[in-house]
């Protein structure tokens, strides 16, 4: 299972390392630099659509992925029902969010574009959950980046045609998502036709049953979406000039989103694999250890790179009108990127708990995180603006990650490896030493390349990564 995980992980990461950073750090960043505070208006509208996007899914994606991975016939029996249900949910979502946006004076035309984008994105994620659950990981890997590939092409065409405004930027993404939706739908129909027919039943009670079963998943992801995206909406309510602060916050969050996309891929691969291992009553420790080693090292290196090279990164990526904006942006950036470490823990351990169907605990933990986030943001945002929101984000993510980690240690009898923990501490201090040695170089990208290379060398020297065992996973197919 570890061999399968690593092979598909490298395919996923290879594709995403090319496409998604280019989208976020080149196309999306260029759009913000051109649009200025207007991008803040887009970011506020986007977060409004994201906060309520759980209504499009109500837990269907993870519920479906878990069950399809355990039983292929589940896909055949429930595809039409779930597709119909998601259509109804899309209508409810559209009506609610459009109404809220109207009363919050968000541009209707911009909101419409973003609403349809979220609807297509939700359908794509559901269709991909079938493909992933059927263990067609390579197809899912290509679908995971194809929408951004199309969006990049359209945006570049708009930029070169001098059609640069927030509406063209949003439309480019909408058209890209629609094309990706059609491709994913075609693939699902193809796999649907290949599975033997099952006895049909009345769809009405089936829909009711699926809603009841998926409701806990919906609650969980609604709570997680709220504590992740609530900060931007609260800044819109609590601060003067919210477009300025939202645009500033988006600058820091862009790099966290780019990093989190890679971590999210772990969860997408791990969920069906964990579900299969748990169903077959096999040990989840080897897979967890492999995923944790890789993702924890990536999280530490990314977070420390951001903290140590903070000002250089922000000045390279963005245009600042005054030194005070730069200072506030850098402070916010440090806290936001430090959040990537607990977020990485969440993507591993909450995924394992989801596969275990320990949803009641996850809901409780997410509710605690949401209440903490709300209290911290209400106190900190009026006092220190976006920096306060970034502190709240770090503390909230750390709390949820800690709760999930402790729970997994209890359920699966994991043991803390003190010697490996010491190696991680030495690794972190060694990276600080590397920074001290290379900080005199003036070229940021050379510094970052050296820093990453030395990080890999140190992880091997400290035997955090065993290269021989690591390579053996690609030779052996032992499950």
The Cβ-side half-sphere exposure at 299, using a 13 Å CA radius, reads: 24
* Phi, psi (rounded to 5 degrees) for 182: -65, -40
- Tell me, what's the pLDDT at 345? 93
Tokens of 76: 């055949």
Mean pLDDT value across residues 315-341: 91
Residues 6+ positions from 83 with CB-CB distance below 8 Å? 126
- Spatial separation of the C-alpha atoms in residues 147 and 177, rounded to whole Å: 5
CA angle, 170 as apex, 167 and 173 as ends, to 5°?
Answer: 150
Rounded-to-10 torsion of CA 71, 77, 81, 82: 20
Phi-psi domain of 241 (left: phi exceeds 0; alpha: psi -120 through 50; beta: other): left
Kindly report which listed range (110-119, 230-239, 424-433) carries the lowest average pLDDT score: 230-239
The domain spans of the chain are 2-415
Mean pLDDT value across residues 1-23: 63
Mean pLDDT value across residues 81-94: 89
- Spatial separation of the C-alpha atoms in residues 110 and 108, rounded to whole Å: 5
Is there a contact between 44 and 106 (Cβ–Cβ < 8 Å)? yes
Confidence of residue 13 (pLDDT cuts 50, 70, 90): low
- Tell me, what's the pLDDT at 200? 53
Give, to the nearest 10 degrees, the angle between helix 285-308 and helix 310-317: 80
- Spatial separation of the C-alpha atoms in residues 134 and 258, rounded to whole Å: 27
Residue 231's Cβ-count burial label (10 Å; 0-12, 13-18, 19+) is buried
pLDDT at 198 over 90: no
Residues 6+ positions from 89 with CB-CB distance below 8 Å? 55, 56, 57, 58
- Tell me, what's the pLDDT at 389? 94
pLDDT at 476 over 50: no
Confidence of residue 387 (pLDDT cuts 50, 70, 90): very high
Please state the separation of Cα 152 from the chain's center in Å: 19
- Tell me, what's the pLDDT at 82? 83
- Spatial separation of the C-alpha atoms in residues 243 and 240, rounded to whole Å: 9
CA-derived radius of gyration, the chain: 22
Residues 6+ positions from 109 with CB-CB distance below 8 Å? 167
DSSP assignment of 80-148 equals HHHHHHHHHHHHHHHHHHHHHHHHTT--HHHHHHHHHHHHHHHHHHHHHHHHHHTT-HHHHHHHHHHHH
pLDDT at 477 over 50: no
Residue identified by tokens 């027919």 is 197
Mean pLDDT value across residues 141-152: 87
Query: Coil, helix or strand for 160?
Result: helix
- What are 47-50's contacts with CB under 8 Å, separation 24+? 47/229, 47/232, 47/233, 48/97, 48/100, 48/101, 48/104, 48/106, 48/111, 48/233, 49/97, 49/111, 49/114, 49/115, 49/117, 49/118, 50/118, 50/225, 50/229
Helix then strand count (H, E) for the chain reads 18, 0
Q: What is the pTM of this model?
A: 0.78
Tokens of 398: 């750390």
Spell out the SS3 assignment of 214-227: HHHHHHHHHHHHHH
Average pLDDT, the chain: 85
Q: Which of 358, 356, 345, 363 is nearest to 274 (CA)?
A: 356
Percent of the chain with pLDDT over 70: 89
pLDDT at 2 over 70: no
Tokens of 17: 């390392």
Please state the separation of Cα 385 from the chain's center in Å: 24
Q: Which of 397, 402, 358 is nearest to 376 (CA)?
A: 397
pLDDT at 91 over 60: yes
Kindly report which listed range (68-77, 108-117, 295-304, 451-460) carries the lowest average pLDDT score: 68-77
- Spatial separation of the C-alpha atoms in residues 125 and 104, rounded to whole Å: 29
Is there a contact between 367 and 223 (Cβ–Cβ < 8 Å)? yes
Residue identified by tokens 């297509």 is 120
- Spatial separation of the C-alpha atoms in residues 417 and 39, rounded to whole Å: 46
Distances (CA, A) of 23 to 148, 151, 187, 339, 457: 7, 8, 25, 22, 29
Which alpha helices (DSSP H) does 280-322 contain, by range? Answer: 285-308, 310-317
């Amino acid at each position: 299972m570890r061999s399968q995980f690593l092979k598909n992980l490298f395919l996923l990461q290879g594709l995403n390392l090319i496409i998604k950073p280019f989208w976020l750090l080149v196309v999306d960043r260029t759009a913000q630099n051109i649009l200025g505070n207007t991008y803040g208006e887009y970011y506020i509208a986007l977060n409004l659509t994201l906060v309520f996007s759980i209504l499009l899914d109500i837990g269907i994606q993870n519920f479906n992925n878990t069950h399809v991975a355990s039983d292929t016939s589940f896909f055949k029996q429930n595809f039409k029902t779930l597709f119909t249900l998601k259509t109804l949910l899309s209508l409810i979502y559209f009506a609610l969010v459009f109404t809220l946006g109207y009363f919050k004076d968000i541009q209707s035309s911009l909101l419409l574009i973003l609403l349809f984008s979220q609807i297509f994105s939700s359908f794509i994620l559901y269709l991909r959950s079938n493909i992933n659950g059927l263990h067609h990981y390579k197809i899912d890997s290509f679908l995971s980046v194809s929408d951004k590939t199309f969006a990049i092409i359209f945006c570049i065409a708009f930029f070169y045609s001098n059609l640069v405004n927030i509406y063209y930027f949003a439309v480019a993404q909408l058209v890209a998502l629609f094309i990706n939706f059609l491709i994913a739908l075609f693939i699902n129909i193809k796999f649907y036709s290949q599975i033997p027919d099952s006895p049909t039943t009345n769809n009405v009670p089936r829909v009711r049953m699926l809603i009841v079963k998926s409701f806990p998943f919906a609650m969980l992801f609604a709570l997680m979406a709220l504590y992740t995206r609530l900060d931007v909406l609260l800044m819109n309510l609590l601060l003067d000039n919210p477009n300025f602060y939202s645009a500033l916050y988006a600058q820091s969050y862009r790099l966290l989103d780019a990093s989190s996309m890679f971590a999210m891929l772990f969860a997408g691969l791990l969920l069906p694999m964990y579900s299969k291992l748990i169903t077959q009553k096999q040990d989840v420790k080897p897979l967890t250890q492999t995923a944790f080693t890789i993702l924890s090292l990536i999280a530490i290196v990314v977070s420390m790179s951001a903290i140590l090279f903070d000002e250089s990164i922000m000045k390279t990526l963005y245009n600042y009108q005054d030194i005070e904006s730069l200072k506030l942006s850098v402070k916010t950036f440090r806290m936001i990127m430090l959040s990537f470490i607990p977020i990485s823990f969440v993507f591993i351990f909450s995924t394992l708990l989801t596969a275990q169907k320990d949803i009641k605990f996850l809901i409780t933990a997410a509710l605690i995180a949401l209440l903490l986030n709300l209290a911290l943001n209400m106190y900190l945002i009026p006092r220190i603006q976006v920096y306060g929101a970034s502190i709240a984000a770090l503390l909230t993510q750390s709390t949820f990650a800690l709760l999930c980690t402790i729970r997994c240690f209890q359920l699966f009898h994991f043991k803390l490896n003190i010697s490996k923990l010491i190696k991680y501490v030495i690794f972190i201090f060694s990276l600080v030493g590397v920074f001290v040695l290379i900080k005199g170089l003036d070229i940021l990208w050379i510094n970052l390349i050296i820093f990453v290379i030395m990080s890999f060398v140190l992880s091997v020297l400290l035997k955090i990564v065993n290269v021989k065992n690591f390579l053996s996973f690609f030779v052996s197919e032992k499950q």
